[in-house]
Amino acid sequence: MRAIGALFALDLVSIPTINAFRRLATSMDKFSKVASEEFLKLPRISLRSCEMYLSGSHNLAYFLRVTPHPLRSPARAYCLYASKRNFVDCFHEIQDLIEGDRGGGSGGGVAGFSTYEALVNACIGLKSIRGARRVHGYMMRSGYEADLYLANRVLLMHVKCGMVGDARKLFDEMPERNLTSWNITIGGLVDGGEYWEAFGLFLMMWGEVSDASSRTFVTMIRGSAGLGEVFVGRQLHSCVLKMGVHSDMFVSCTLIDMYSKCGFIEDARRVFDGMVEKTVVGWNSIIAGYALHGCGEEALGLYYQMRDLGVKMDYFTFSIIISICARLASVEHAKQAHAGLVRQGFVSDVVANTALVDFYSKWGKIEDAQRVFDGMSVKNVMSWNALIAGYGNHGRGIEAVEMFERMVSKGLVPSHVTFLAVLSACANSNLSDEGWEIFESMSRDHKIKPRAMHYACMIELLGREGLLDEAFSLIEDAPFSPTKNMWAALLTACRIHRNFELGKFAAEKLYKMEPEKLSNYIVLLNVYNSSGRFEEAKSVIQTLKDRRLRLLPACSWIEVGKKPHFFLFGDKSHVQTEEIYKKLDAVMLEIRTEGYVPVGKHLLPDVEEQEEHISSYHSEKLAIAFGLVSTPSFTPLQVVQGHRICGDCHDVIKLIALVTRREIVVRDASRFHHFKDGTCSCRDYW
DNA sequence: GTAGGGTTAG
């Protein structure tokens, strides 16, 4: 014990108690056994031997490498290492040490600057509230007077452990402060989402010390991004210019991020273009900005520009790019980003890999998603969520529930997103019992209050079973006012089960909430059409006209030969148009032998052109026809479309999958349709 | 032996 105490205090003259080191050695299995034995034979322990002993460990070397300010003593390294591995034990040791000292024990192992600094650093690294409380407690009780440097570290420790309130109190009581103290406290408030509070303190700082550094501005700009208030951000931008710190790359990057998060991508671009030295973070920020604005193509363009300029990419870059690809379902770009990730050695990054899991599942390759997931050395809740959502979207609810159960049994804490993923999986696959059990377990076992989206899943679940009245009561009984998602779920159910009364009711609620959203009118139109109420259907069309709402051209695309090919409704712009239409007509004839009858009732209301043959040339059919002519037989096809698939296309694609013996995955605006052997994974409910 | 700051995934 003493020996460990001595270690901490860097006072390595005393002979170690062999037992203490033996305990150490057994608690740290990674230490080389031989090294420990040799070490224990030493009659005296010097700083040097200590270093050698500790450096025998792989992990220690790693810590030394990654710690921004190289650890200057083995004591600190030890502390960081021990606490990383076994926090509780580490603190027991220190408790003994400190209490031993207070009892007037000999040996001189005092908890001094190094000990505290090491402990504080460990807590910062670990974000351990318990540890932070303990360390701070020791300091207070022992009456140790920290200098400004250490006091600031303690402040930071509180901030990083999420104890912003305590940090604020500490800050107020500090006998002496400097810019760093202010910056740390303001940063803590911003991190904790208390933006206005942060602004208050910032103004106080301005009044009290009439100074601020670029670091302060970085924090405050981040705060205005959090608020989503561009006028605050703009004011800070002018302050930055006046103070002459605008060329600071940290400032520029935060500005880019702030402008894009506030919806001003052009301003973000201007800041980016003005960067003297464009760092990788600057590139990442602007690319993420374009991605956020749905400009995936623009984002990819910048990414290739970045590559051509030889900017070294990091794991952020790949994560962003992969998530863009997931949205675009762009295989070729994603494959390259995946390769880049591997080449540059970021294979073990959680975020990038989670993005990959998401990508593969959105691309329709759920097995590949599972493979990436299985290969991940570090997984967090989000990684599990991505996989569960993947199974759910592919109509594989049983696997989704299995994954959910496995995740919980591993001791991970599911978040509300996890529940969203697993409940929607249950809804997609008609797993009623499982769904209700999980829904009820949310508040019972996991202390998570179901939100509107969770209710929407349950409404969908009931709706699939045709229990429309029950679904309606669930909306009425919800502990909050119903949201559009809940009404939309009910409306969909009404469409499938042809309940036009309730459907109309739900649709009217929706019109009020989002009058400009076309899809609501269309679903109601389908409700009427499918139940033969053409008069009502006409009135919906009239409403559409009155409100000057027009359908955006529906667009589908398919990637063939490393290139996306886009199709609009009735599109004849593709170079292979003739071939495509010929193939489509041929295959439409072929599926008639399988019992296909064109149905008008599912028609998407192209308002002006309500004719039967029109749905033959819906964009998804054209994309599939192109896939059929330009890929070898039996190749699976992946189609993405920006709107919801219509009933006729759904029937047709099922049969095309059957007659051509191809797997066809269509990702529409709401889910995946996995067509195989004449059936679809959505079980005809979408 | 001198801190504090920017970008990513469900």
pLDDT in tens, A396-426: 999 999 999 999 999 999 999 999 999 999 9
Mean pLDDT of A297-319: 93
Query: CA A302, A304, A309: angle at the middle one, nearest 5?
Result: 95
Query: Residues A259-281: pLDDT tens digits?
Result: 999 999 999 999 999 999 999 99
Give the C-alpha separation, A341 to A318, whole Å: 6
Is residue A561 classed exposed, middle or buried when 0-12, 13-18 and 19+ CB atoms within 10 A define those classes?
exposed
Q: Give me A469's structure tokens.
A: 């009245």
Measure the CA–CA gap between A641 and A197, rounded to whole angstroms.
45
Sequence-ordered list of residues with C-beta below 8 angstroms from that of A217, at least 6 positions apart, any chain: A236, A239, A240, A243, A245, A251, A254
Residue A476 — φ and ψ, nearest 5°?
A: -70, -35
pLDDT score recorded for residue A599? 63
pLDDT-based confidence at residue A53 (cuts at 50, 70, 90): very low
Q: Which residue is closest, via its CA, to the C1' of B5?
A: A215
3-state secondary structure at position A372: helix
Q: Helix or strand or coil: residue A556?
A: strand
Q: From the CA of A200, how many Å to the C1' of B2?
A: 28
Amino acid at A461: L
Which residue has 């400097």 as its token pair?
A: A178
Say what the pLDDT of residue A608 is.
44
Joined tokens for residue A28? 């740290």
Which of the nucleotides lies closest to A354 (Cα–C1')?
B9
| pLDDT over 70, % of chain A | 80
pLDDT category at A6 given cuts 50, 70, 90 is very low
- Does residue A89 register a pLDDT over 60? no
Listed in sequence order, the DSSP H helices in A44-192 are 47-55, 58-66, 74-85, 87-102, 113-126, 129-142, 148-160, 164-173, 179-191
Neighbours of A207 (CB within 10 A): 8
CA of A189 to C1' of B1 (A): 28
Average pLDDT, chain A: 80
Mean per-residue pLDDT for A331-343?
Answer: 89
Residue A633 has a pLDDT of 87
B8: residue with closest CA to C1': A316
Give, as ranges, the nucleotides of chain B with any atom within 7 Å of a protein CB: 1-10
Could you tell me the distance in Å between the CA of residue A615 and the C1' of nucleotide B8? 41
Find the residue closest to B1 using CA and C1' atoms: A72
Pairwise CA distance, residues A164 & A194, whole Å: 10
- A98: tokens are 């400190």
| CA angle in degrees (0–180, nearest 5) for A507-A508-A512 | 115
Return phi, psi of residue A639, to 5°: -120, 140
Q: Which nucleotide is nearest to A381 (CA to C1')?
A: B10
Domain ranges of chain A: 1-144, 555-680
At residue A560's C-alpha, the angle toward residues A553 and A626, to 5°, is: 55
CA R_g for chain A = 31
Contact partners, residue A520, CB within 8 Å, separation at least 6: A488, A491, A507, A510, A511, A514
C1' (B2) to CA (A168) span, angstroms: 22
With distances taken from each CA to the C1' atom of nucleotide B2, the closest residue turns out to be: A149
Residue A9 Cα distances to A2, A148, A210, A380, angstroms: 10, 20, 40, 37
Q: What are phi and psi of A431, to 5 degrees?
A: -90, 80
Cα gap A100→A607, rounded to integer Å: 85
Per the CB < 8 A criterion, the answer to whether A388 and A404 are in contact is yes
Percent of chain A past pLDDT 90, that is, above it, reads 42
Q: How confident is the model at residue A611 (pLDDT cuts 50, 70, 90)?
A: very low
pLDDT given at position A388: 96
Length of chain A equals 686
Q: Residue A359: how many CB atoms within 10 A of its CB?
A: 30
Q: Of residues A455 and A89, which shows the higher confidence score?
A: A455
Residues pairing with A564 in the sheet: A559
Cβ atoms of residues A558 and A623 within 8 Å: yes
Q: Quick count: other Cβ atoms within 10 Å of Cβ A534?
A: 11
> Stated in angstroms, how far is A68 CA from B3 C1'?
12
Tokens of A275: 């960067």
CA of A215 to C1' of B5 (A): 5
At A641, which helix (H) or strand (E)?
Answer: strand A637-641
Average pLDDT over residues A492-509: 87
**Nearest nucleotide to A70, CA against C1' atoms:** B1
The tokens of A148 are what? Answer: 């400004």
For residue A567, give the H/E element and its range.
strand A563-568
Q: How confident is the model at residue A600 (pLDDT cuts 50, 70, 90)?
A: low
Q: Which residues pair with A666 in a beta bridge?
A: A639, A673
Query: Using the CA of A287, which nucleotide's C1' is the nearest one?
Result: B7
Distance CA A299, CA A324 (A): 8
- Whole-Å CA distances, A550 to A135, A244, A268, A319, A513: 64, 50, 32, 36, 19
Is A514 in a helix, a strand, or coil? coil
| pLDDT surpassing 60 at residue A83 | no
A180 CA to B7 C1' in angstroms comes to: 23
pLDDT in tens, A305-314: 999 999 999 9
Please tell me the distance from the alpha carbon of residue A500 to that of residue A51, in angstroms, as a whole number. 78
* pLDDT of the residue at A27: 44
pLDDT at A598 over 80: no
**Å between CA of A566 and C1' of B6:** 37
- Check whether A17 has a pLDDT greater than 50: no
Residue with tokens 């009020």: A512
Q: Determine the pLDDT at residue A65.
A: 35
- d(C-alpha A166, C-alpha A164), whole Å: 5
Checking each nucleotide's C1' against the CA of A379, the nearest proves to be B9
Closest nucleotide to A260, Cα to C1': B7
pLDDT tens for A215-235 read: 999 999 999 999 999 999 999
Nearest nucleotide over every DNA/RNA strand to the A352 CA, judged by C1': B9
CA to C1' distance (Å), from A148 to B2: 9
Residue A605 has pLDDT above 80, yes or no: no
Query: Quick one: pLDDT at residue A281?
Result: 96
What are the Cα distances from residue A445, in Å, to A4, A342, A486, A518? 42, 40, 24, 40
CB A225 within 8 A of CB A257: yes
pLDDT at A564: 82
Specify the pLDDT at position A114: 65
